[in-house]
Structure 1
Amino acid sequence: MSLDSSKNEELLNLVENSGANHVREMATYFNAELDESNDASTITMDNNIAKGFISSYRIFNGLSVWVYNIKFHSDFKVNLGLSESRPYYFSYTVKGRFLHRFGDREKFADILQNQNMIVRGSPESSVQILFPAGVDLKIAVIILDLNLLENLEIRNTKKIAAKIHEVFDKNPSEKNYRYLGGIDVQTKKFASVVCQNNDHDIVGALLTKGAVFNMLASQIQSFSENSSSEKSPLSKAELSKITSLANYATNNYETSLTLRTLSRHFGMSPKKLQAGVKYLYGESVGHYILGLRMGHAIHLFNTTDLNVAEVCARVGIANGGYFSKVFKKRYGKLPSHYKG
């Protein structure tokens, strides 16, 4: 991508180009701090445009990654002119939502939290992306240029290119293509690492690289299995809303987290909430919340000096005997093993 815009325009225009140093140009446009160390380019902002960072790095020629961990203060639109190379974009929204469309006449598609999107555009077209104001965004994007991958003498690149051809060649090659997947909580664990890992040592780099490959594999698998998978009883928007359950519960352990109170919070019937959690996580709301409580409990035992009674209170379980019974069943040891 290379920059083609003036600061007075509301629309930021980019041109698809794998060889351009687009992050450096974006830093100038945004008046943002630029860090080009550790084989990555990162712009950090805390100004009237946005707060957060956008990062880009290359795994190898033909496979690059973009990370958006940012909140824009007003609606921000990007227009991307597409090129003859026609790379694939595999995006996953860990947090927040954004809008996507081809050209400037098509209706925007709403890309939801915990949703996969796969895009390949026509060189005669363009893409518009709208980042809504006030939304905390965590988005990981893997960009695959098959023309570059196929020319590398690296075994993994050949395998990746072959798999992409195998899965996607049935789609019309000359047209714009966009796949909006279902709400996918499996890919989230890999995409979250891609979005969050800022460690620049060798271990951090290896963890991030592994997460990128796992994220890509998970998205391809999700796409391949989509046609034969169980149909959801809820809409994508409803499922996306339910993926915030863990975050809501974590911040409200000391309040009543019953099915009825949770259904009121998420604006859906208890039956629908129960069905959605079962579809996404394979268990009932009660068991899912209990698992979150137990996970937080062992985290507190490992990271704080809180005793058993204090941990019980923090995770919202009043009965110490019940807590010990469930904890031992899950982890094989009594809480007293960690704290007397």
Structure 2
Amino acid sequence: MQKIEIHSIDGAEILEQLNLYLEGKLINNWGEHVLEFDNKLGKGVIRTIAFDWGVSLVDYNVNFVQDTSIIFTIKDANPIEFIFISEGKLNYTTSVENKPYTFERYQNVIISTKKFSKETYIFPKTAAVKVNFIYVLSGEYSKKKNNNLSYLSKSLFSAFTEENEKPPYKHYGNYNLRIADQIKQLQESHESGIVRTLSIEGQLNLILAMQILEHNNYENGLALPESLSKDDIKKIHNLSAFIIDNISEPLSVQSLATKAGMSSKKLQLGFRVLYSKSVNEYIRQLKLEISRDYIKNTNDSISEIVYNIGFKSRSYFSKIFFERYGILPTDYRKKIKTQE
């Protein structure tokens, strides 16, 4: 495993220390620092920008060749970290708690460690990871006019205090697509100069507000329309197994939602979170994958296979099979036979 040691929360210094290992290219435009690398260690872009009142962004879009630990050991600060993963996942440990955690895609995470503690983020090998870190230095942010910190929940407000002995804070919240959509807009910003800087700052404030809102609703047992709980995720995983076992049966969105015990809207949201597809798109792809296995591993006729996966029209099946694999089912079977 590759290990990278970081001893700062200043974005520009983080990139400089990362670059000692990654040996990429550092760029600075309009106060935004960017590290690009494409070599034997992996490929990616890491960017950072800092604003007034102790708010800064570090955004990773990386794919490492081997498991890579980025280890933060900060002596003079313990910022509040608002973390959101748009793609992939991260493993996380601290020197205070030996228990490892996995931060999942679309999960809202807010953490603050004790001073002098060590944090380790493990990026899995050969996996694309897009993760957004917003750092907030509580001492500086509390000096901001109209900061309204007193309106935070008691638990999150404690993370904004400047007490040296304050306990570590962690919130591993719900899965939220609205935050993901907002971060996508941030990552795809193409403006330049002052327009870009103002745009990024405004979007960071909006993302912070959305993450705090999710936290507030989580603590009060409320669910935003765009949020999924871990129980919801488990239900959808179980439903995926049910779909495979009943692939030949009529599977409507409503019947599956009833089976899972959730609304159709939440079911669709869950499939988008887990599979980046609607329920019907997921079922159709699954049918095609199963049909391909049948064609390859059985002597069933194409018509029998069409029936076994729950399609009524052979011509429709041939059409979408060709769209998916670039070959007709009959030609695919001939190709398999010639390779035996």
Shorter-chain TM-score tier: 0.5 to 0.7
- In 2, Cα distance between equivalents of 1:163 and 1:75: 41
What is the deviation of 1:229? 1.4
Larger CA deviation: 22-31 vs 9-18: 9-18
Q: CA deviation at 1:164?
A: 5.4
Tell me the residue number matched to 2:265. Answer: 278
* Structure 1, gaps ≥5 residues long: 1-8, 243-257, 263-268, 293-315, 317-340
Residue 61 of structure 2 corresponds to which residue in structure 1?
Answer: 69
Inter-partner Cα distance in structure 1 for 2:150 and 2:128: 36
1:159 counterpart residue number: 147
The residue type equivalent to 1:235 in the other structure is D
Change (3 A) 1:142 1:160: farther
Distance apart, 1:110 and its partner CA: 0.9
Rounded Cα–Cα distance in structure 2 between residues aligned with 1:107 and 1:15: 22
Closer/same/farther in 2, CA of residues 260 and 291 from structure 1, 3 Å limit: closer
Provide the TM-score with structure 1 as the length reference: 0.64
Alignment deviations for residues 275-316 of structure 1 (CA, whole Å, 9 cap, x no partner)? 37633667999xx95999xxxxxxxxxxxxxxxxxxxxxxx9
The whole-number CA distance in structure 1 between the counterparts of 2:182 and 2:74 is: 28
Q: Distance in 2 between matches of 1:80 and 1:284?
A: 34
Q: Which amino acid in structure 1 is aligned with residue 184 of structure 2?
A: S
Cα distance, 1:32 vs structure 2: 0.5
Distance 1:280 1:185, change over 3 A: farther
1:49 aligns with 2:36: no
Name the amino acid aligned to 1:213: N
Q: Distance in 2 between matches of 1:272 and 1:71?
A: 38
**Structural mapping, 1:160-239, within 5 Å:** 161-163=149-151, 168-170=156-158, 174-227=166-219, 228-230=221-223, 235=231, 238=234
In structure 2, which of residues 65, 75, 84 is the aligned counterpart of residue 92 of structure 1? 84
CA 1:107–1:214 in 2, change beyond 3 Å: closer, same or farther?
Answer: same
Deviation of 1:189 (Å) = 1.8
Give yes or no for contact 1:234–1:272 (8 Å, CA) kept in 2.
Answer: no
- Quick check: 2:149–2:157 contact (8 Å CA) kept in 1? no
Is this contact kept in 2: 1:114–1:240, CA < 8 A? no
How far apart, in 2, do the equivalents of 1:147 and 1:60 lie?
12
How many angstroms apart in 1 are the aligned matches of 2:231 and 2:70? 28
Residue aligned with 1:199, SS? coil
Q: In structure 1, how many angstroms separate the alpha carbons of the residues matched to 2:55 and 2:28?
A: 18
Could you tell me whether the CA contact under 8 Å between 2:153 and 2:216 is conserved in 1?
Answer: no
Counterpart position of 2:124 = 132
Which protein shows a greater Rg? 2
Unaligned runs of 5+ in 2: 239-248, 282-319, 321-340
Under a length normalisation based on structure 2, what TM-score does the superposition of the two structures give? 0.64
Indicate the SS of the match to 1:168. Answer: helix
- CA RMSD in angstroms comes to 3.9
Distance (Å, rounded) in 1 between the aligned partners of 2:39 and 2:86: 24
Stretch moving more, 123-132 or 171-180: 171-180
1:102 CA drift (Å): 1.1
Change in CA separation of 1:87 and 1:239 when aligned onto 2, cut-off 3 Å: farther
How far the C-alpha of 1:166 sits from its partner, in A, is 5.8
